Structure formats: structure tokens, C-alpha cells
Amino acid sequence: MRLRVVLLVLVCALFTAPLALALPPARVKPLTPRVTPLTARVITLKPRITSLAPKHVAPNKFQVGTDVLFAFGSAKLSNQAGPLLKQVVSKLRGEHGGTVTVTGYTDSIGKKGFNLKLSRQRAASVVAYLHGHAGNVGYKAAGRGEADPVAPNKIRGHDNPSGRQQNRRVELSYAR
């Protein structure tokens, strides 16, 4: 039995020794740190909100961007809304002659049902403010959600933040 084991070990050694001798030694490259130089680059940032004033879009209609009036996903008027809505009140006192319709819009982010509800709530918040500050004027609140966009929410399948910002708006219309 011992003879068989010795022979088996010798046979294995004869076959594996040439293989071990034929293999080249492993080459290991030492690691060298790479330093990438940084280059300074100045970019121009575009303002997200270009104008806070209500924008006339027709002789008896103007728009107010909701980014100033409300926080994202909220129907509660922001602190910045007061001065802007005071401008709306002064325009209404000078120009309107009937019921003022306040229509809220959203962008296309989120579910349609949520956006529709949010746009209605935002219109109702603006009506509540106007009713308290503009006297005995008739008001009607409406919400259209993401319907009737004034700019594309996406361009070639990619998000368009500028377009979405334009679509988040409140429109006020009245009879002359």
C-alpha cells in the first residue's frame, strides 16, 4: 500500500513539475496615484423667476406664477404672495366690471387627480385672499390641473423645467 502511495505522488510530481516550471512568473505593476488637475469654470445661472408682476395675457386676463404664491405641492399662500396679490387687487379695482374667474393650473408632475385637486385648492386660496381685500366683487374659483399648458412640460421626451414653471400658474379673467 505504501508503495502505491509513493508511486502516485511521484507520478503527480512528474506531471505537475513541468507545468509549474513552464508558467512565467506573475507580473505585478505597482500602483501609482493619478492626479487630475481641476480647471475653474464659471457658468451663468438663469433666474428661475424672471418677473413677479402679474402678466397681462389678454385685455381682460392676466397670469400670476404659482411658484411665488405657493410652496411646491401646497395650496397655502406663501409670505411672498401678499405683495403680489395686492398688485392684482389694484388691477382689478381699476379694470374689472363683473365676476372675476380665478383658474389654477399645475405642471404635469404627479398624478392627474392630485394636480386637479391642487389647482382647485390654489384657485380657492387666491379667491379667499381677493375676497378679503378687494371688496364686494364676485369671484369664481376653478381648477384645470395640467390641462391647457402654455409651454411643453417635456421636450423630445426629456423634462423641461422652464416649461413646467410656466404651466404652474393662476389666471384671472373678468368681463370688461
Return the domain boundaries, the chain: 56-174
Q: Is the pLDDT of residue 15 over 80?
A: no
Mean pLDDT of 124-144: 87
**Coil/strand/helix, residue 57:** strand
Q: What is the pTM of this model?
A: 0.65
**pLDDT digits over 142-153, tens only?**
999 999 998 999
How does the average pLDDT of the chain come out, rounded?
79
Determine which of 32-46, 71-85, 113-127 has the lowest per-residue pLDDT on average.
Answer: 32-46
Residues in the chain: 176
Determine which of 12-16, 44-48, 57-61, 94-98 has the lowest per-residue pLDDT on average.
Answer: 44-48
CA torsion angle 143 77 95 101 (round to 10): 20
CA distances from 123 to 151, 167, 172 (A): 20, 14, 9
- CATH fold for the domain made of 56-174: 60s Ribosomal Protein L30; Chain: A; (3.30.1330)
Mean pLDDT of 55-59: 58
Closest C-alpha to 104, from 81, 121, 79: 121
CA distances from 145 to 10, 12, 31 (A): 86, 81, 58
Q: Is the pLDDT of residue 59 over 70?
A: no
- What CA–CA distance (Å, rounded) separates 67 from 73? 10
